[in-house]
Chains A and B, each alone.
Chain A
Amino acid sequence: MKSGLKNISKWSLRFLGLLMLSIVLLVVLNSAFLSIYVNNQSPNGSPWKSAQGAAEAIKQENGEYILQEEIVQELIKEQAWAIFIDDRTKEVVWHSDNLPDDIPKDYTLSDIASLTRGYVNDYPTFTGEAEEGLMVVGYPKESFWKHISPSWDYQFIENLPQNTLILIVSNLVVIFLIYMAANYKLLKSVGPIVEGIQYLPKNENVNVKEKGPLSELAVNINQTSEILQSQQRMLQKKEEARSNWIAGVSHDIRTPLSMVMGYIGQLEEEENLDQESRQKMTVIRKQSEKIKQLIDDLNLASKLEYNMQPLHLKDENIIAVVREVAVEFINIDLAGKYPIEWIVDEQVSACILPIDKSLWKRAIGNLIQNSINHNENGCKIYISIIIQQEACTVSVADNGVGMTAEQMDVLNNTPHYMLDNDHKGEIRHGLGLLIVKQIAASHGGDIVIEASEYGGLAVRIVLPFSATPSNDVPI
């Protein structure tokens, strides 16, 4: 939900930015438009200016008033008329030729006050002061609209800049609130959808409420999740089936193999047996033991691979666990062909970590068995445990035949045939090491296969102390 909210506030900020930008743009555009419009409207300036111009341009010559021809032409062009009222007599002493008939020829003081602010018979009039009178210019009806009582409180004008600012800001806030209110529902329904989409790749069950303006999207997401989940279930079912199949087959092989191994073991111990038969018996027993090992490994490897082997974690002393396995091998190695040397600092008696003991025993056992399998003629096996600051390393090495650098490279770097879809026919290495790798990985560790300092092969299991064991580890 957190990331969904983050996205929503990001959107809101973005919208706010967009809003600001549009307002600035609109203001600039509007002022430009307005100024162009106003300028175009009266190219010769305002009617007040025209009236003042006319007032200044009227002259008395030989007792008669004459207006400059230039100004007269301008007035005609604007379809305006003009009268000149004498200061003393309040009578019209001059008027333009186009004076309409309904304009009075004498005025009282109140008439003059009225025509200054407003109209004469609906003609908008403007005045200009001359030395001996008042020039009145009248424009056609409905050509100007005049504000008759233009007066404002002084404070109002004084506070105008800050009031304007407050007005603009409050307008913005109101617009934003309107936007939020209008979009709240949309944003609210976007949140779960965004969250749902974010959960989809995590392979979790997504259930977005199918309500609100985006319900269709929600339905689609839920359907997608359902499809993904059912595919996941199918895959898991398939994997379980495969794992169960392997478990079933290995179970069914165990009983007949018991018979083979049992009777061979019994025959091998018979005293009156010739050398050749005894050798053959030994071969059969050894091969049977290999089959047994293979069944065990196959079963566990498939379970580990498909995460069907639950980890039973408990704080265990790794040294004691490894020692137990080493001793089990010494105890069954009656002929002493594979002596085990224990190289652990005597000062270190315990290394407690949360591990699955039986899996760890299996991993160590596999490593020892690996040395035995690859050295038919016997070899010495060296087991060491090194506790360092950040990791515990268990190493099983031998002085046997070892392998070439090339083979080692293949072991370290190519996936096992069980985990690989290509190269189906090519069996690169046994399951034993794969299981060790899987077990190490499930405990958050790893393995390293290398040449042993004793001449043979060495495998190290490195388990970091910070590792978190998990049932779900890709290998």
Chain B
Amino acid sequence: MEYLKQKRILIVDDELALLEMVTSFLTDNGFQYIQTAQTMKEAIRVADDFKPEFAILDVMLPDGSGFDLLEQLREKADYPVLFLTARGEDEDKLTGFDMGADDYLVKPFLPKELIFRITAILKRSYKGENPQVPLRHCKIDFERAVIVKKGEDLPLTAKEFALLSALYRQAGRIVTIDALCEAAWGENPFGYENSLMAHIRRIREKIEANPSQPVSLLTVKGLGYKLIVEEA
């Protein structure tokens, strides 16, 4: 995970106290390259020099909206963005996602939640740089779409790869049956539950030492599955 902590992060919010607080969360969690801005203008100027690889934007800024800022930032470079806002309205959420935001966090929030979301986005966006994800009995190499088990490469099918990616993005958390079906079969996936079970069984055969007693890919009955990643 260490490589993620090297990412350059830009934080934009009109509240100085909040900027300081978020900065301190990030530094506490090992992030080293952080720059802040309080207005849209300042943010664009800072971004030009700093070349951020990730941005946390407030929706309401004194000289414009965070959505407008995102549009302008994206003209120069494409990197993941998390919106931070005091407005919980659904319309805002939808606008944010339409604009290509990667996530959306409504104030107030706990530092744990913020760090989790940032890590998840960074992992998703920059996974190529850390091809080997360690599990108890093997490693997943997303770059090559293989499981490395006892020095042997076990190739993943497209569906297995899609399912493992979805599970890895939320590693340590339960991913619902529906979200997994969506990841593998697209939107409105009804009636794929049995197929999903079959694919999970095949993934277990590849990643577990004893597929009938899984330790890395756990079932949460009726709800979903959870991937346990070992700390490197």
Contacts and interface: CB of A to CB of B under 8 A. Distances in A.
B86 A262 contact: no
Name A's interface SS. Answer: helix
A288 interface: yes
Interface residues of B, number: 37
Contact of A262 (B109, B173, B176, B224): B109
Nearest to B193: A349
Of A258, A320, A330, chain B has the most CB atoms within 10 Å of the CB of A258
Nearest to B24: A266
Given A324-B179, A327-B224, A349 B110 contact: no
A188 interface: no
A257 B188 CA distance: 38
A329 B21 CA distance: 26
Name B's interface SS. Answer: mixed
Interface string A293-314: 0001001000000000000100
B173 A331 contact: yes
Interface residues of A, number: 37
B222 A330 contact: no
B25 A257 contact: no
A153 interface: no
A255 interface: yes
A15 interface: no
Contact of A323 (B106, B108, B176): B176
A327 B220 CA distance: 9
A168 interface: no
B26 to A, nearest CB: 11
A136 interface: no
Contacts of B186: none
A263 B179 contact: no
B88 A342 contact: no
A35 B71 CA distance: 104
A170 interface: no
Contacts of A312: 90
B17 interface: yes
A265 B191 contact: no
Nearest to B192: A349
Nearest to B90: A358
A268 to B, nearest CB: 9
A330 to B, nearest CB: 6
Contacts of B28: 266
Contacts of A323: 176-178, 222-224
Interface pairs A-B: 5 shortest CB-CB: A342-B222, A320-B178, A254-B86, A258-B108, A257-B108
Interface of B: 15, 17-18, 21-22, 24-25, 28, 86-88, 90, 93, 106-112, 170, 173-179, 188, 190-191, 193, 220-224
23 contacts: A252-B86, A254-B107, A257-B108, A258-B21, A258-B107, A259-B17, A262-B108, A265-B111, A317-B178, A320-B178, A323-B177, A323-B178, A324-B178, A324-B179, A326-B223, A327-B173, A327-B223, A330-B223, A331-B173, A342-B221, A344-B222, A349-B193, A350-B191
